[in-house]
Amino acid sequence: MEQLREFLRHQYIGAIVIGLLAYQGMMALISTFTSSLSVAVIRMQAHTSAFEHPEAYPWDRLLPSVTQAVLCLGLAYLMLRWLYGSRREPVEEQEPAESGE
């Protein structure tokens, strides 16, 4: 596993994959936001009578794109932490230097 990590890090393949995952996640979020905004604007402009009940918002359409965004961004974050996270090595305690008194 360590060899794969070093390979992905030094050949910049890991950085490219992280960038693509982050891009795909951000595009899914943006498309979710814009589609929600367009549905809201269309509903505001629709001519309805006082006797009609407004249709429920189509929440089931948002679920796949939100799920895709969360998964892509989560995977990008996990890969970023795995490949480029700093390894904390134990700090050795140093004894104070004795003064010459």
* pLDDT at residue number 58: 75
Parts of the chain with a pLDDT under 50: none
Both tokens assigned to 17: 């994959």
Q: What integer pLDDT is reported at residue 61 of this predicted model?
A: 82
Q: In the block, which residue shows the tokens 């995952």?
A: 21
pTM of the full structure: 0.70
Tracing tokens 């799920």 back to the chain, one arrives at: 67
Please tell me the predicted confidence (pLDDT) of residue 39.
83
Instruction: Provide Rg for the chain, Cα atoms.
Output: 26
What pLDDT is recorded for position 89?
Answer: 61
Distance CA 71, CA 6 (A): 24
**Domain spans, the chain:** 2-45+61-84
pLDDT digits (tens, 9 = 90+) for 32-59: 999 888 888 887 777 666 677 767 777 7
| Residue 36: strand, helix, or coil | helix
Contact between residue 84 and residue 9 where contact means Cβ atoms under 8 Å apart? yes
